[in-house]
Amino acid sequence: MGAALPDSFPAPDLAALAQALGPLAPVFDIRWWEDCDSTNAALLEAPPEDDGKVHVLAATRQSAGRGRRGRQWLAWPGGSLTFSALWRFAPASSAPAGLSLAVGLALARVLEKLGVAAVALKWPNDVLVHGAKLAGVLVELLPGRRTTPAAVIGIGLNLRLPVDAVIPGQAGGVTDLAREMGEPPTREHLLAAILAELHPMLATYERTGFGLLRNAWQKRNAFANLPVQVSGEGTNIAGICLGADEDGALLVRTAAGVRRIFAGEVSLRPAS
């Protein structure tokens, strides 16, 4: 994996970021902190006022990055792109189902445009390359009875992991962008590319739900038609992975018929 990481990092170039976003720049309010416990936690604890913009918080270092299922998200300063975006949906729209899948799809498209080969999606939130985890998505809904549903969309993407990086709990291993494409773009360009892909995709998602994005997700399903095991929250199901349903639920064909599984706290892995 990547070489040793530098000790210090230049301040993020927000002007370059705005330039890379071009006409989309005014849509976003982007902060980039040097240090943060978790960008998801920061936006959830103190959500910025709704001024019509999409609020984005990136951090060079995260001391308590959160992953799914109560796991820690390990990142190394300068070795990862870690950020969260507070997305507000149209008033009275229903709770966003399948949102993390839509976000994973946007990430996959960005990576493919960069020339990364063999990008695949693991339900509900992992982006894999050749079976190894490159990026993860953590969607957390803003609590409370809001008329405007809002979600904090957290993304962690490995850019250049240290040679001795150990990330437990990843059966397929981990990878980084430097390994998959050579010299990765700057973190500012990468963030701009992801936000530019997310923006129209989430507009589609908001209008139609996950349904219109489903085919594109299915094409990238890492376990399509393969035997899988789903476990957690009292669930233990073995069957053939049929991918995602219109609402983002996982479909598994079992001996007792097709089961629908909602994200919850379950984990999916290839059957041994």
Residues binding ligand BTN (CB under 6 A) = 38-40, 62, 65-68, 71, 73, 82-84, 125-126, 136-138, 154-156
Catalytic residue (one of 88, 133, 179, 220): 133
Q: Please, which residue, 33 or 130, has the CB nearer to ligand BTN? A: 33
CB 34 within 8 A of CB 61: yes
Residues 6+ apart with CB under 8 A from 24: 195, 196, 199
Give whichever of 223 and 239 is closer to ligand BTN, judged by the CB atom: 223
**Rounded CA gap, 125 and 108, in Å?**
11
Task: Give the DSSP letter of residue 255.
Answer: T
Min dist CB 270 to ligand BTN, Å, is 17
Catalytic residue list contains 269: yes
- The one catalytic residue among 66, 68, 109, 187: 68
Find, among 107, 78, 98, the residue nearest to 2 by Cα: 78
Q: How far apart are CA 111 and CA 269, in angstroms?
A: 23
Q: 58 vs 228, which CB is nearer to ligand BTN?
A: 58
Least separation in angstroms between residue 139's CB and ligand BTN is 9
**How far is the C-alpha of 272 from the C-alpha of 270, rounded, in Å?**
6
Nearer to ligand BTN, 68 or 88 (CB): 68
Q: 188 CB contacts (<8 Å, ≥6 apart)?
A: 12, 13, 14, 16, 17, 20
What's the CA gap between 202 and 7, in Å, rounded?
36
Pairing mode of beta strands 54-62, 28-36: parallel
Report the residue closest to ligand BTN, judged by CB. Answer: 136
**Residue 32 or residue 83: which is nearer to ligand BTN going by CB?**
83
Work out the angle between the directed axes of helices 187-208 and 14-21 (0-180°, nearest 10): 40
- To ligand BTN, the closest distance from the beta carbon of 84 in angstroms equals 5
C-alpha span between 66 and 125 (Å, rounded): 13
Q: CA nearest 39: which of 109, 125, 137, 123?
A: 137
Given the residues 207, 219, 260, 269, select the one marked as catalytic: 269
Shortest Å, Cβ 122 to ligand BTN: 10
Q: Give the pair of three-digit tokens for residue 79.
A: 């070795």
Asked if 109 is an active-site residue, the reply is no
53 catalytic? Reply is no
Q: Minimum distance from CB of 254 to ligand BTN (Å)?
A: 26
- Shortest spacing between CB 245 and ligand BTN, in angstroms: 21
Task: Indicate which residues carry an active-site annotation.
Answer: 68, 133, 269
